[in-house]
Amino acid sequence: MKKLILDVDTGVDDAQAIMMALAASNVEILAITCTHGNTPLQNSLKNTLRVLKVCNRLDIKVYAGFEEPLLGHKISAGEFHGKDGLGDAPDAEAPGLELVQKTNAVEAIISITKQNPGQVTLVSTGPLTNLALSVKMDPCLPARLKDIYIMGGNIESRGNTTVCGEFNFLADPEAAYIVLERYTCPTTIASWEFSCRNSLPWSFCDTWLAQNTPKAHFMETIYAHTRKMVQTDRYQKEMVSGFGFNTCDAYAVAAAINDDVVLESEKVAVTVELEGKYTRGMMVLDYIDALDKEHKVNILKRMDLEVFKQLLMNALK
């Protein structure tokens, strides 16, 4: 069994990623920790509980992390995911926040990894605030992790929020910098450009949502707003290639839970730009060893889309 901690800012794509992990028979989710990002922290917590409820997995513990970046201004993706993060689709029977654990996310990450040394895969699909503060509180944390998977950053300076900034890294650049400096365990990154180049046809999305299950009905409802947004000309101009269904966060989860899904990757040292007027939050790839960093991360390049499609289909069964 792969033991996962999911660190999320639950919007629609996080919901898709969480449901993919929940459906995998070889995965045990030890905890879900929430942060700011797509939507304010309180919404992220509510949304995570909504996803767990529809999947009949409210037994999984949910922890509140931090509600703002280490420095700078808080941003959100309300226009993209809906103000509540899940398409502004009301749910009168949504679980209450009394189900959230009293322990905070940082304490939970530290404690769970101490209980499972060398066994935990940490998957981040939101801003990296919780992870940065965890390693500041416990510098030995990375040595206890099996590995870490991150959805975020960019590899060709293509931004989706600013000219050169990808949302998750731009939402807390200092946290992204700390994580890429301090987490020296095996690290895999699913970048913005990677997700674009491995997007799926909209015809698949139609088939995916047409499954006659409560999970599929839930996804169709919460995804309606985002789908309308991503099919606009403006959004398609942001995508690196093609006109397709791009479930960003699910790529990192797929790589974490299925060893057969990644077909091509490369190892390279990286850092994050913190000061540039146009490039703050941009991930920098060092192909000439100018940074003199021993630790190199695994940058995803190409995915087996048939395996990925099956993981998505399973998520809504």
Cα dihedral across residues 275, 281, 286, 287: positive or negative: negative
Contacts of 73 (CB under 8 A, 6+ apart): none
CB atoms within 10 A of CB 228: 11
Contact 289, 269 (CB under 8 A): yes
Per annotation, catalytic residue among 9, 14, 138, 172: 9
Q: What letter represents residue 121's amino acid? A: T
Contact 40, 126 (CB under 8 A): no
282/155 Cα distance (integer angstroms): 8
Which has the closest alpha carbon to 53: 103, 11, 91? Answer: 91
Q: Is 138 a catalytic residue?
A: no
192/90 Cα distance (integer angstroms): 29
34/22 Cα distance (integer angstroms): 16
Point out the residues that are catalytic: 9
